[in-house]
Structure 1
């Protein structure tokens, strides 16, 4: 059971990081609708757009281990699953720290002044460098071509799939709340109808994702009476795959909406939206499927 416990610990670590990251992501959604937004310079708005993209990459890396575990490893515990979780965490932490440093710089510059903002940015940037360097001091993480695999008991596989849903759900709910608040702001009422429809589309997609993420626990409790059943694992895995697909497209559409407000230009926002969709769908669905196909051919 050693591998299964290690995988559970890795998923719990991701769960601890997810909500805070997605709340910061939600703040980026809210920023263009704050009163002080009009006082930000074009440079500061562009910096906030960079933060939006950096946090998006962070979220992509946080959800990736669960997608790999579910799609490639079929819910089994493996050394390679742990290596991918460690690799994603190693890449994620400095990216998040850089995003936080830029966010703090803009906030402190607005509230206190440039000197304080520069000091906070320098300190947080040093933390980002430390986060980037520290994991590599103990040895480089690499992918194994051949790896140990442990087939956990059915109860553990059910626990895994429910944990993966719980990892994403709070953050998706937070994003949904931020999106709903936007609708009732004065700035939103002044937008063009087409822009409102783009936001409404993103809202609907993330709401759908949230419902799909809530479904496995409810189905397990009501339809399966909380009993162990292998069909539930397959059913819940399908719901999670659909949920992450809706979430990926919803986030990409919202990047188009927020990007246009931050950059005041539709073309870069559209390109960033397309790139976001490719990244999220690629890392959550295509990459695990490619690894699964390659693993099948190796056997």
Structure 2
């Protein structure tokens, strides 16, 4: 359980920094000029990052609530929360990429492609690649 909480501590500063940059963006004069759908994407991206932050922070709260008494169920849930936080984080980053590319180019097709490409890249690196590696290790008869 302590290892899981340590992993959350590594992830959290980056996610919090992203949240800070997302929040600051709305105070920019350029933000007011964005199309309403781009502003909505930014707000949705902010919401998904808040979801990721909540999921990353939950294991530490859960552990402290139980007075440091970890069990297998708590460890499984905590690992699931931290890994699961990567999905809304990928969504938030993709929506931010869409918003930034749209602000720079004002070309919707490129903005959509950039957002979708970012999401696909992160899903591939954070979910597909590790799953493939795990299957490869298991197929060779070793435990991961």
**TM-score normalized by the length of structure 2:** 0.90
Report how far residue 264 of structure 1 moved: 3.0
Give 1:218's match in structure 2, choosing from 61, 78, 95: 61
CA contact (8 A) 2:34 2:103 kept: no
Which whole-Å CA distance do the structure 2 matches of 1:211 and 1:276 have between them? 22
Which whole-Å CA distance do the structure 1 matches of 2:43 and 2:8 have between them? 24
Q: Secondary structure of 1:257's match? A: helix
Which whole-Å CA distance do the structure 1 matches of 2:9 and 2:91 have between them? 20
Give 2:9's match in structure 1, choosing from 166, 174, 185: 166
Q: Paired residue for 2:34?
A: 191
Q: Do residues 257 (structure 1) and 93 (structure 2) align? A: no
Q: Secondary structure of 1:283's match? A: helix
Which whole-Å CA distance do the structure 2 matches of 1:203 and 1:160 have between them? 28
Q: Paired residues, what number?
A: 141
Give 1:281's match in structure 2, choosing from 123, 138, 143: 123
Q: Which has the larger radius of gyration?
A: 1
Which whole-Å CA distance do the structure 2 matches of 1:296 and 1:280 have between them? 24
Report how far residue 258 of structure 1 moved: 0.3
Which whole-Å CA distance do the structure 1 matches of 2:34 and 2:106 have between them? 12
Task: List per-residue Cα deviations over 1:154-173 (Å, max 9, x = no partner).
Answer: xxxx2221111111111111
Which whole-Å CA distance do the structure 1 matches of 2:18 and 2:4 have between them? 22
Task: List per-residue Cα deviations over 1:269-297 (Å, max 9, x = no partner).
Answer: 22121111111111111111111122222
Give 1:178's match in structure 2, choosing from 14, 21, 29: 21
Unmatched 5+ stretches in structure 2? none
CA RMSD of aligned residues (A): 1.3
Which whole-Å CA distance do the structure 1 matches of 2:25 and 2:34 have between them? 11
Which whole-Å CA distance do the structure 1 matches of 2:43 and 2:35 have between them? 12
Unmatched 5+ stretches in structure 1? 1-157
